[in-house]
Amino acid sequence: MDAAWPRCLERLEAELPAEEVHTWLRPLQVETHADGLTLYAPNEFVVDQVREHYLARIRELVAHFAGAPAAVGLAVGSLRRSPAPAAPGAAPAAARASGPAFTSNLDPHYSFENFVEGRSNQLGRAAALQVAQNPGKAYNPLLLYGGSGLGKTHLMHAAGNLMRQNNPGMRVLYLRSEQFFSAMMKALQEKSMDQFKRQFQQVDALLIDDIQFFAGKNTTQEEFFHTFNALFDGKQQIILTCDRYPREVENLETRLKTRLTWGLSVAIEPPDFETRAAILTAKAAERSVKLPEDVAYLIAKRMRSNVRDLEGALNTLAARSNFMARPITADFAQETLRDLLRAQQQAVSISNIQKTVADYYQLRMADLLSKRRTRSLARPRQMAMALSKELTEHSLPEIGDAFGGRDHTTVMHACKVMRELREIDGKLREDWDKLLRKLSE
Ligand SMILES: Nc1ncnc2c1ncn2[C@@H]1O[C@H](COP(=O)(O)OP(=O)(O)OP(=O)(O)O)[C@@H](O)[C@H]1O
């Protein structure tokens, strides 16, 4: 019986579009019994989809591969396994089915406690927390938007988990936009739209991730628009994420764009250096990885794109250190992450920085690089030099050369001035942050 489900999945993969298997069947957890098996789905929504579209075929295949009649049950729940690997000699971790009647697709790992706060995500975190504490009342909908891997999904799950923690009976449903889309397409094909719509009337909070996916999909937008309105009228909480401000998403209906931004829309920005280092330190502690401070700084300095990449770097380091039984040091990190760090470094060059700074201050490149010392040129020039030191691996003399053959002490002075001004001049600090962000995209 144990082998029946993997073989059944394999066969279904050959028979069905990959997207369907990925969306509905892969997330199922299986518990085998002597005379059959039970499939556990993360929530009722998935149970309905599986029952309606796949269960009959699953039953046929399981019986076929088991070589005998087999009972296949389907229920909401999950198989809880002991999170730590079993110690040598210990009995296998007991697996058991659990879960209330409505679970939510929420990942319990994501919480506010393990979300590191920084200037870049402070507002988003505060808004998500407010919403979780006053669902349907604080801001509706809450829209979190920003680039990939910056923590939008994390905050969304954290809000959902907190709602359920405060009120265990609350029905919170998390869906990726693809899941909404694919369930709707099925319902349309099979003329079961009424049932599709009813599922949403039962939820207290609906969390939809990555709504930019709806762009160009007109029927989905129409349906989502109605679902949205019904929930909104019923004061059910809606939380959405998008990879940019919805008004900037092409091929999204205007009335939907307007609705999406009715409540509160908050940008999640790429984390600054301190936050990146704090995230690395926190993730390392969570995983019991010994990450010295200088290594956290090294990675945080060099990897500026997003948190997912930071996590990837940490995982790579931890795995290699484990495997080679070597401690994580700065040298070890340089050696292990060489390619990754180089790829990040290539993304920004001095000329790239000069161009971005010139555009930002609406100057001509020739003026920025000229010897003229008027204040309106000197500050942007110092800004560009300091950014070059911060963002590239070039030496002071190399940077000086790239700025019309200036001496390395001029570059050093520019870095010092910028550091001091950032402490006391709010406008300049804002310029610095904006430019850093632009250059780190
Ligand atoms: N401030 C933070 N503190 C701790 N972990 C974070 C933080 N920001 C992001 N992460 C982690 O980074 C990873 C990527 O974040 P997440 O999946 O939430 O990104 P996203 O913005 O939803 O990206 P996408 O749009 O690509 O889905 C997750 O593992 C998340 O836990």
DSSP 56-115: HHHHHHHHHHHTS--EEEEEE-EEE--SSPPPTTPPPPP-EEE--S---S--TT--STTS
Select the more confidently predicted residue: 237 or 392: 237
Whether 159 and 239 have beta carbons less than 8 Å apart is answered as yes
Confidence band (pLDDT; 50, 70, 90) for 282? very high
What's residue 275's pLDDT?
A: 92
Residue nearest to atom 13 of ligand 1 (CA): 308
Does ligand 1 come within 6 angstroms of the Cβ of 178? no
Three-state DSSP class for residue 41: strand
Quote the CA–CA distance of 203 and 128 in Å, as a whole number: 18
Does ligand 1 come within 6 angstroms of the Cβ of 195? no
Question: What value does the mean pLDDT take over residues 317-335?
Answer: 93
Does ligand 1 come within 6 angstroms of the Cβ of 121? yes
> Which of 65-69, 91-95, 317-321, 337-341 shows the lowest mean pLDDT across its residues?
91-95
User: Which tens digits make up the pLDDT trace of 35-79?
Assistant: 889 998 877 778 888 998 899 999 999 988 888 888 899 988 776
Q: What is the 149 CA–ligand 1 centroid distance (Å)?
A: 5
Residues annotated within the binding site are: 149, 151-153
Residue bearing tokens 């110092």:
382
> Distance of alpha carbon 426 from its chain centroid, rounded?
30
Rounded to 5 degrees, what are φ and ψ at 94?
-70, 140
Three-state DSSP class for residue 99: coil
What's residue 344's pLDDT?
A: 67
Give the tokens for residue 231.
Answer: 């929930």
Q: What is the 257 CA–ligand 1 centroid distance (Å)?
A: 24
pLDDT beyond 90 at 314: yes
For the chain, the average pLDDT equals 87
What's residue 433's pLDDT?
A: 84
Neighbours of 269 (CB within 10 A): 21
Neighbouring C-alpha atoms within 13 Å toward the C-beta of 20: 15
What's residue 87's pLDDT?
A: 30
Quote the CA–CA distance of 183 and 412 in Å, as a whole number: 59
Architecture category of domain 273-346 in CATH: Orthogonal Bundle (1.10)
Give the tokens for residue 408.
Answer: 């390395």
The CATH fold assigned to 122-267 is Rossmann fold (3.40.50)
Q: Is 3.30.1330.20 the CATH classification of the domain at 350-440?
A: no
User: What sections of 150-244 are H helices per DSSP?
Assistant: 152-166, 177-189, 193-201, 218-233
Give the tokens for residue 360.
Answer: 């930002």
Beta-ladder partners of 17: none
Beta-ladder partners of 84: none
Architecture category of domain 4-81 in CATH: 2-Layer Sandwich (3.30)
What's residue 441's pLDDT?
A: 60
What's residue 81's pLDDT?
A: 42
Does ligand 1 come within 6 angstroms of the Cβ of 279? yes
Does ligand 1 come within 6 angstroms of the Cβ of 151? yes
Q: At 201, which amino acid appears?
A: Q
Nearest CA to 135 among 101, 92, 169?
169
Three-state DSSP class for residue 385: helix
Does ligand 1 come within 6 angstroms of the Cβ of 149? yes
What's residue 241's pLDDT?
A: 96
Residues annotated within the binding site for ATP are: 149, 151-153
Does ligand 1 come within 6 angstroms of the Cβ of 425? no
User: Which tens digits make up the pLDDT trace of 401-427?
Assistant: 999 999 999 999 999 999 889 878 888
Does ligand 1 come within 6 angstroms of the Cβ of 116? yes
Quote the CA–CA distance of 105 and 157 in Å, as a whole number: 9
Cis-peptide into 141, omega within 30 deg = yes
Q: At 6, which amino acid appears?
A: P
Ligand 1 atom nearest 210 alpha carbon: 25
Confidence band (pLDDT; 50, 70, 90) for 102? low
Question: What value does the mean pLDDT take over residues 318-336?
Answer: 93
* Residue to substitute in 114, 148, 154, 304 for testing ligand 1 pocket (most ligand atoms within 8 angstroms of CB): 154
Please report the ipTM that was assigned to this predicted complex.
0.98
Whether 315 and 159 have beta carbons less than 8 Å apart is answered as no
Residue boundaries of the structural domains of the chain: 4-81, 122-267, 273-346, 350-440
